[in-house]
């Protein structure tokens, strides 16, 4: 919900609607710098700043901004999970990621969680402002480096898990079968999260359901099950 500042611009032209944003970054120097830089722009109003994802959720609930500018790697609640929760609870709020990381895992995880735009921290103030304005109107803006990373990722290896049988045993979902296959290939929970662009908590929940459905008390038993059922 953008607001108009009273009065007119130079030459009597109406001022642009003011974009209300929340900034979230755990580094105080970065957070304060963004607040200062963006606050100097006549059409942007930084209504609040958060030091972690949990604070960001509270501030969005309190201020109802048009957009959130957030880092991915924050304490308490990371940027991916914050993005997912914001998308669920406040779908009208545009999310713009501003982070150091431009690897395909981070980018895809953020976009799948609901981020509308993704920039790296070498972006200048104009790039950030344009991304925020664009995201608030429904446009997606990707940093050139991020765009190149996504292109490379889609061309490299579109299928990261082996082919699965059409009929899956014991009520396993296709996602659970994918994760079981990766377990059988020796992948850790962190590896699986990275390969499938899931949060660590989501992977753990899937594994618990896999163990329950397959009657596996541990990973070794799950690996045996996978091999016996052509899921390895």
Could you tell me if 105 and 97 are in contact, meaning their C-beta atoms sit under 8 angstroms apart?
no
Domain that residue 219 falls in: 169-228
Same domain, 14 and 100: yes
pLDDT at 165: 82
pLDDT at 96: 95
pLDDT at 158: 44
Same domain, 148 and 33: yes
Domain count, the chain: 2
Could you tell me if 172 and 185 are in contact, meaning their C-beta atoms sit under 8 angstroms apart?
no
pLDDT at 130: 93
**Domain CATH for 191:** 1.10.10.10
Same domain, 58 and 104: yes
pLDDT at 65: 97
Same domain, 146 and 70: yes
Determine, yes or no, domain membership for 178: yes
Same domain, 140 and 175: no
Query: Does residue 8 sit in helix, strand or coil?
Result: strand
CA distances from 24 to 71, 204, 220 (A): 6, 27, 41
pLDDT at 111: 84
- Alpha helix (H) residue ranges in 40-124: 53-63, 79-89, 104-113
pLDDT at 107: 81
pLDDT at 162: 56
Determine, yes or no, domain membership for 195: yes
Rounded CA-CA distance 160/23 in Å is: 35
pLDDT digits 0-9 by tens, 57-70:
999 999 999 999 99
Intervals of the chain under pLDDT 50: 5-7, 10, 157-159
Determine, yes or no, domain membership for 163: no
Determine, yes or no, domain membership for 80: yes
Determine, yes or no, domain membership for 64: yes
pLDDT at 52: 95
**Domain CATH for 92:** 3.40.50.2300
């Amino acid at each position: 919900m953008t607001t108009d500042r009273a009065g007119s611009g130079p030459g009597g032209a109406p001022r642009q609607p003011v974009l209300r944003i929340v900034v979230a970054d755990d580094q105080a120097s970065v957070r304060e710098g963004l607040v200062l830089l963006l606050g100097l722009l006549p059409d942007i109003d930084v209504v609040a700043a958060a030091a972690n994802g949990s604070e960001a959720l509270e501030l969005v609930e309190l201020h109802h901004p048009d957009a959130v500018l957030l880092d991915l790697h924050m304490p308490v609640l990371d940027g991916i999970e914050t993005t997912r929760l914001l998308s669920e609870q406040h779908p009208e709020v545009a999310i713009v990621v501003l982070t150091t990381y431009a690897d395909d895992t981070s980018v895809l995880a953020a976009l799948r969680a609901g981020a509308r735009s993704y920039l790296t921290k070498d972006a200048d103030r104009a790039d950030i402002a344009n991304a925020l304005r664009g995201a608030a109107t429904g446009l997606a803006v990707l940093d050139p480096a991020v765009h190149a990373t996504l292109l490379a990722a889609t061309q490299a290896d579109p299928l990261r898990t082996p082919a699965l049988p059409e009929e899956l045993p014991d009520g396993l979902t296709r996602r659970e079968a994918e994760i079981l296959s990766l377990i059988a290939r020796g992948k850790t929970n962190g590896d699986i999260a990275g390969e499938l662009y899931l949060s660590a908590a989501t992977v753990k929940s899937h594994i618990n359901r896999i163990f329950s459905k397959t009657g596996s008390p541990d990973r070794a038993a799950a690996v045996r099950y996978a091999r016996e059922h052509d899921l390895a």
